[in-house]
Amino acid sequence: MDLNLLQRRSDYEWEIPQHGAMRVPAVIYASEQLMRDMDHKVYEQTVNVATLPGIVRASYAMPDAHWGYGFPIGGVAAFDPEQGGVVSAGGVGFDISCGVRCLRTGLRRADILQVQKELASALYARIPAGVGSTGTIRLNEHEMDQMLTGGAQWAVNRGWGTADDLERVEERGQMKHAKPGNVSPQAKKRQRDEMGTLGSGNHYLEVQEVTAVFDPKVAEVFGLALGDVVVMIHCGSRGLGHQIGTEFLRRMAIAASQFGISLPDRELACAPIASDVGEDYLGAMRAAINCALANRQILTHLVRRVFADLLPQARLPLLYDVSHNTCKVEEHRIDGGTRKLYVHRKGATRAFGPGHPDIPEPLRAVGQPVLIGGSMGTASYILAGTRESEALAFSSACHGAGRAMSRHQATKTWSGRRVVDELAARGILIRSPSMRGVAEEAPDAYKDVSAVVDAAEAVGLARKVARVDPLVCIKG
């Protein structure tokens, strides 16, 4: 990105002043190096988002921002329904409520090393992953609607988890105001065989070791210590969410002109929050959030069964579950008052600071856990939300490393087998149905996740608590 186009506000804050059709300025949080490496498309897309009706304060991009669809990946924008604000299917994306869930295990590295190969093979055998994989759960029409209304709560009621889990999931495991009736039969059919599946692409399940603790006090509250083993799951709302995204993107793109909305990019497809299509989307999108929460809950159950067989001493309580592709109604302080805003986070994690009432009570004093997935074979991070993040970006932080290289280039650069062998030599076991998929997700195809979280911490979006490194990775 050409830095001459931006005004530097601090070491990690870059502003694009309001110009042209922009209704608010745009702000990118990143180090100078991350900015220099960032695609110019992030500039264009962050500016485009700033032109949408009812946007409040600024269009934001997180340190891991990269070229997305309409919104940049790593984009955050809040809209006020009282000011003609919009909801954007493009601003949430195809993988609605894609997110990360972290389970503690009570185990140590040595426990895993004794059974590492068996554990990798058992997880790979029991967790449906990759193209063409199907789950064992089939839902009839009534059950599908119950799942879309109940989310993780529905899954727990079916026996896939415990009530304690729900306290550690955003929205207490159930997104309110979901409308299964707004979800098309096609979307439901697409989900029919996909409950409890991981998906593919950058989705994964990892067994990880805590390799660094940056904030011992908060780590203790989170239940993390050096050498502890955790399980991290990254996936979303599967085919149902993809189909809802597809259908509403089209509907909103066509309807935009009827609302007098001029779209600089069709992918920014949106509609007024107070419109039929806006309300239809919100009901369907919330149902997809419940689908993602239920899916991650079922995967949790499958993981626990594998551990129960191989490491029966392990208990796997949930640390936290966060989504990073959503639009949520939240109250935020604006100009000395409180306003109800529709906050879009597209590849960005909600990061409530200490004291926020939506944080589970045992964690409330230290801030919400913010789970940052790395790329395959590299570190992931566990952060905590800060109070300053509300004023910086409506309590949001980064979500991952962000790609540095296209999939196309990655497959030209690496072979999947070589990547698997090199990671095995470093003690990291990869299991995947596709070597080409592994090549596309090669560690060096991504930005340095450490630089991303360092920037997030330096600017105050969240603070580092612990780093985790993989021991086993199941890749879809």
Partner 1 sequence: MGDVPSNTGHWEHFAHGADIGVRGFGASKAEAFEQAALALMNVIVDTARVAAQERIAIACAAPDDELLLTDWLNALIYEMAERNMLFARFAVRIHGTSLTALAYGEPVDRERHHPAVEVKGATYTELSVRSEGAGWLAQTVVDV
Q: Cite the active site residues.
A: 399
Can you tell me the distance from the alpha carbon of 180 to that of 26, in angstroms, rounded to the nearest whole number?
Answer: 35
In angstroms, give the least distance from the CB of 165 to partner 1: 27
Assess 189 for contact with partner 1 (CB under 8 A).
yes
57, 66, 324, 467: residue in contact with partner 1 (rule CB under 8 A)? 66
77, 269, 277, 472: residue in contact with partner 1 (rule CB under 8 A)? 269
Contacts (CB under 8 A) with partner 1, residues 201-230: 201
Assess 360 for contact with partner 1 (CB under 8 A).
no
Burial class (CB in 10 A: 0-12, 13-18, 19+), 103: buried
246, 275, 415, 450: residue in contact with partner 1 (rule CB under 8 A)? 246
Assess 196 for contact with partner 1 (CB under 8 A).
no
Q: Which is nearer to partner 1, 53 or 239 (CB)?
A: 239
Assess 73 for contact with partner 1 (CB under 8 A).
yes
| CA separation, residue 178 to residues 78, 162, 249, 334, 396 (Å) | 20, 22, 18, 27, 23
In angstroms, give the least distance from the CB of 345 to partner 1: 16
Smallest CA-to-CA distance from 310 within 114, 20, 24 is with 114
Assess 15 for contact with partner 1 (CB under 8 A).
no
Assess 373 for contact with partner 1 (CB under 8 A).
no
Cβ proximity of 463 and 457 under 8 Å = yes
Cβ proximity of 153 and 174 under 8 Å = yes
Q: Which is nearer to partner 1, 252 or 314 (CB)?
A: 252
| Cβ atoms within 10 Å of 434's Cβ, excluding its own | 16
Stretch that binds partner 1, among 19-27, 66-74, 140-148, 271-279 (CB under 8 A): 66-74
Assess 200 for contact with partner 1 (CB under 8 A).
yes
267, 280, 390, 469: residue in contact with partner 1 (rule CB under 8 A)? 267
Assess 265 for contact with partner 1 (CB under 8 A).
yes
91, 93, 151, 180: residue in contact with partner 1 (rule CB under 8 A)? 93
Q: Which is nearer to partner 1, 168 or 190 (CB)?
A: 190
108, 339, 364, 407: residue in contact with partner 1 (rule CB under 8 A)? 407
Cβ proximity of 471 and 209 under 8 Å = yes
243, 323, 375, 380: residue in contact with partner 1 (rule CB under 8 A)? 243
In angstroms, give the least distance from the CB of 42 to partner 1: 9
In angstroms, give the least distance from the CB of 307 to partner 1: 25
Can you tell me the distance from the alpha carbon of 277 to that of 29, in angstroms, rounded to the nearest whole number?
Answer: 33
Can you tell me the distance from the alpha carbon of 332 to that of 330, in angstroms, rounded to the nearest whole number?
Answer: 6
Assess 398 for contact with partner 1 (CB under 8 A).
no
Can you tell me the distance from the alpha carbon of 368 to that of 389, in angstroms, rounded to the nearest whole number?
Answer: 12
Assess 242 for contact with partner 1 (CB under 8 A).
yes
Can you tell me the distance from the alpha carbon of 266 to that of 410, in angstroms, rounded to the nearest whole number?
Answer: 28
Stretch that binds partner 1, among 27-35, 55-63, 162-170, 186-194 (CB under 8 A): 186-194
121, 275, 434, 450: residue in contact with partner 1 (rule CB under 8 A)? 434
Q: Which is nearer to partner 1, 147 or 269 (CB)?
A: 269
Tell me the HSE value of 84 on the side-chain side, using a 13 A CA sphere: 8
In angstroms, give the least distance from the CB of 1 to partner 1: 12
Stretch that binds partner 1, among 266-274, 302-310, 331-339, 358-366 (CB under 8 A): 266-274
260, 338, 408, 425: residue in contact with partner 1 (rule CB under 8 A)? 408
Assess 70 for contact with partner 1 (CB under 8 A).
yes
Assess 264 for contact with partner 1 (CB under 8 A).
no
In angstroms, give the least distance from the CB of 349 to partner 1: 17
Q: List the structure tokens of 205.
A: 């399940």
Q: Which is nearer to partner 1, 384 or 442 (CB)?
A: 442
What is the Cα gyration radius of the chain? 21
In angstroms, give the least distance from the CB of 197 to partner 1: 10
Stretch that binds partner 1, among 61-69, 136-144, 280-288, 419-427 (CB under 8 A): 61-69
Can you tell me the distance from the alpha carbon of 443 to that of 375, in angstroms, rounded to the nearest whole number?
Answer: 6
Contacts (CB under 8 A) with partner 1, residues 111-140: 130-134
Q: Which amino acid is at 161?
A: G
Sites of contact with partner 1 (CB under 8 A): 39, 41, 66-70, 73, 90, 93-95, 130-134, 186, 189-190, 193, 199-201, 239, 242-243, 245-246, 249-250, 253-254, 265-267, 269, 402-403, 406-409, 433-437, 440
